[in-house]
Amino acid sequence: MQGFSIAKPLHATMFFLSYIIRTYARITEYLTTEAQRTQRKEVLRIFCVSPNNMKTKIMKTQTTVVIETLPMVLKIQPNIIITDDQFFDFCQLNRDLRIERNHLGDLLIMSPTDSEADQRNFNLIGQLGIWIKQDGTGVGFGSSGGFTLPNGAVRSPDAAWIKRTKWEIIPAEKRKKFAPICPEFVVELRSENDSLSTLKEKMQEYINNGTQLAWLIDRKQRQVFIYRPNCGVEELDNPQTLTGEDILPGFVLDLSEIW
């Protein structure tokens, strides 16, 4: 079937997708309640294969259930082609969800982050904001801002920074939507149920598209993964601070307010 573009006003397909997304969000919210994520203990069946006779045995054990939530992926192309403007409008219809788009055009749907993680992210943005105001050479962004990367993906990091000169050359009408630019600095803060491997892939995508410094902060394991162009990933265990290096000179993030 040949792909078709959705014309404005938004086609009924958009509302159907919104219905699917909201149903998924309700299911995810149920599965990730505090009782089921970290407190409730269940008896699980573990299937083990004996190396001697290859027969399947069943064992029972007690364990704490912790659910890692992967984004819901809606594959819509090539049958449905959504333009950048239509994708922006679609996100406005579902403002209570986190929605991104990968480089293939697939929609990635994530439920809102938990309150504790958002509070820690607020502390992170507060520290970054103080430095940005003092430095004056760039502009900062929080977790609600989206950016259209050179590869076509639309991503929304938890915090970002862009040089003012690069930001101001973008036409005003494009800045009011998902601006076509890759931030020079990004931060992703891992929530309790975020998939670490998915976040690592996202960090590498930022670097591949022009980011100069990227921090993945894993509160769960008290680790930080630092990404830079043409370098291996640096892993830090339980650091107390992080420095902005030559990208954000003079910026020091106090992690005691993040852990």
- C-alpha distances in angstroms, 179 versus 66, 173, 203, 212, 223? 36, 9, 19, 18, 31
pLDDT score recorded for residue 21: 60
For the chain, the structural domain boundaries read 4-32+68-110, 34-64, 115-257
pLDDT score recorded for residue 100: 95
pLDDT score recorded for residue 59: 43
pLDDT score recorded for residue 220: 86
pLDDT score recorded for residue 43: 30
Q: Is 28 helix (H, G, I), strand (E, B) or coil?
A: helix
How far apart (Å, rounded) are the C-alpha atoms in residues 24 and 18? 10
pLDDT score recorded for residue 14: 59
Pick from 68, 156, 154: which is nearest to 106 by CA?
154
pLDDT score recorded for residue 13: 56
How far apart (Å, rounded) are the C-alpha atoms in residues 55 and 51? 8
* Residues 6+ positions from 94 with CB-CB distance below 8 Å: 18, 21, 22
Low-confidence ranges of the chain (pLDDT < 70): 1-68
CA 163 to chain centre: 22
CATH H superfamily, domain 115-257: tt1808, chain A (3.90.1570.10)
pLDDT score recorded for residue 20: 59
How far apart (Å, rounded) are the C-alpha atoms in residues 249 and 82? 40
